[in-house]
Structure 1
Amino acid sequence: MMDPKRAHHYNVEIGLADRLRNSSRAERKYLYSSLYEELFREVPYHALLVLKDQETVKRTGLPELFEVLRPFLNPDTVYAEIGAGDCALTMLVAPHVRRAYAIDVSETVMRGASAPNLDVVLSDGISIPVKATLIFSNQLMEHLHPDDARDQLVNVFAALEPGGKYFCITPNRMSGPHDVSRGIDEVARGFHLREYTNRELAGLFRSVGFARVQAFARIRNFQTTLPLGVVTALETVVGWLPRSFGWRVSNLPILRRILDVQLIATRG
């Protein structure tokens, strides 16, 4: 039997996500913000709000994410994080760069964020109203309506200075679903409106003009870029397996580290 809190969260999020899935492009300019605010009112124990109350230094995963980004940061970097949530990562990055922008659709989850060189920017979910040399998103692409994903990427490309990079991390559909549906449904039904594979998302990146797309992997303390073809070939092999077996294989810790969508796209 499902835990009552989880059941409530599931039912609220599924209902709100269906409204977003069935909305028009014009409606979504307002819905991203309003529906997430409604989710946080209806589910006050949501993980993002719980994390917001924890001290940044104690947050699981934050030090690793900062170490992932460290090689891309220098005093001349203008950093923008889209889908910044409570801005904990952006606040860690801000002292190490010239300027840091935290961009999100929820004023509630960003409230109180403060650090040297940090600007907090409320967005409609698609626009990127800044210029940057490095744009980062973690667990964001899957929250976009499929019809809006390319539009946001067009805006990311336009927001980058020549030679700038977009570093995108999003869960791989093959090991999903990764939202509130996990363990209940076979596909994402909550606010993960679409989960991607490396091949699919790299194709979207190229379609908006990115000159170079590389895969990225971090295993323990070792991290490196990888030829995208290696990762997509592995993805293809796993995709040939029966679905239940392929799901188990793609969730093996080392394979999960390689197959999770972590792409670095460079503007020419």
Structure 2
Amino acid sequence: MTKLKPDYVAIQRRWKDTRQPERLIAHYELERRLADRLRAASRDERFRLYAAVYSELFNSLPDHPQKAAVGSRPNRVAKQVRALKPLMGRGDVYLEIGCGDSSLPFALSATTREVLGLDVTDALVDFAAAPTNFRFLKTDGVDIPLADSSVDLAHSDQLMEHLHVEDAEAQLREIHRVLRPGGHYVCTTPSSVTGPHDVSVFFDEVATGMHMREYDYRSLRTLMLQAGFCRIEFPLVVAGYWLATPPYRLLHGIERALQWLPARLRRNQWAGVLMGITAVATK
């Protein structure tokens, strides 16, 4: 029988999740089943499954937190625009990986020459509202249908953790391939140190739902270097403002220290700000 953690009410307050216990359990059981299908699938099977499992997840859960958060989307996009603009030039090509409704590429369209949205489906994109310099690219979950060295800035937000472990490095190699020399990939992903960050937070100590893997600074840096990136930095970005870029050794040291603390001390607002990962990988 599926059981919630004894402190699930405190976790709900922290996550601002007001659902009843039976709805949390229903969400968890569905997400575990779908996630286990992805984890057990072969590479070819996963490329067909990514779109199917997420469609089933959202269609089956009308009270899914991401649906409730739709109203906060414009504010989040504004913060992302503020963070990304300093890295862009008027003649650049921008690529959003996992673009969803493409609201972020749309918002950046006046800043640069061309904006591209990459996803497994274009079902959420309002093409009638698309700017003239926007182009949608369909992916199987890993491959990017672009020429080598054709992108100046790539970005993904809360995507990396949803990729099967075997697909994560393959996608990073694709991003590296399409970036021009000196181009940047900005990746925002939750930290395993303060996680889990999917529905399994109410049940488990590590991510077991649709977050295939949650990373820490060390594991993400290692993966990016293996994919061919020459420099990895981890700036602290709050509300779209670049506050500082601490040395990797300092962040890794703090991360290691936090891992020794009880989960209730690691999973707080201040640890979340410090350990919330924004990686800037340079080709």
TM-score, length of structure 2 as denominator length: 0.84
Task: Output one character per residue of 1:136-180: Cα deviation in whole Å (capped at 9) or x when no partner.
Answer: 011011000011111111111101011111111100001011012
Return the letter of the residue paired with 2:248: L
**What is the SS of the residue equivalent to 1:85?**
coil
User: Please, which moves more after superposition, 59-68 or 176-185?
Assistant: 59-68
Q: 1:44, CA displacement in angstroms?
A: 3.8
Distance (Å, rounded) in 1 between the aligned partners of 2:117 and 2:133: 11
Aligned residues: 260
Decide whether the 8 Å contact of 1:175 with 1:248 is kept in 2. no
Q: Residue 38 of structure 2: which of 20, 31, 48 is its match?
A: 20
User: In the superposition, relative to structure 1, how do residues 152 and 222 fare at CA in structure 2: closer, same or farther (>3 Å)?
Assistant: closer
1:47 shift after superposition: 4.0
Report what 1:109 is aligned to.
Answer: 124
Local SS of the residue matching 2:58: helix
What is the distance in 2 between the residues matched to 1:201 and 1:180? 22
Matches within 5 A, 1:34-45: 34-45=52-63
- Measured against aligned partners, the alpha-carbon deviations of 1:164-205 in whole angstroms (never above 9, x if no partner) come to 111111000010110121222212121101001010000011
Q: Which residue of 2 aligns with 1:253?
A: 269
SS in structure 1 opposite 2:203? Answer: coil
- 2:205 partner SS: coil
Q: Which residue of 1 aligns with 2:28?
A: 10
Aligned-residue sequence identity (percent) comes to 34
CA-based RMSD of the aligned residues comes to 2.2
Distance 1:182 1:110, change over 3 A: farther
Q: Name the counterpart of 1:138.
A: 157
Give the partner amino acid of 2:282: T
Cα gap change, 1:44 to 1:24, in 2 (>3 Å): same
Match of 2:209 among 190, 203, 221: 190
Aligned to 2:228: 209
Task: List gaps (5 residues or longer) in structure 1.
Answer: none
Match of 2:13 in 1: none
- Deviation of the 1:55 alpha carbon: 8.5
**Aligned ranges 1:45-194 → 2 under 5 Å:** 45-51=63-69, 54=71, 59-110=74-125, 112=127, 114-130=130-146, 131-194=150-213
**Is the 2:158–2:190 contact (alpha carbons within 8 Å) kept by the matching residues of 1?**
yes
**Which amino acid is the alignment partner of residue 181 of structure 2?**
P
Do the aligned partners of residues 252 and 60 (structure 1) sit closer, same or farther apart at CA in structure 2, a change above 3 Å counting? same
Task: Check the 8 A contact 1:37/1:108 in 2, yes or no.
Answer: no
Distance 2:25 2:137 in 1: 33
Contiguous gaps of at least 5 residues in structure 2: 5-19
State the distance in 2 between where 1:48 and 1:28 align: 23
Cα deviation for residue 250 of structure 1 reads 3.3
Match of 2:52, as an amino acid? S
Question: Residue 10 of structure 1: CA displacement?
Answer: 2.3
Of residues 202, 219, 230, the one that matches 2:250 is: 230
TM-score (norm 1): 0.88
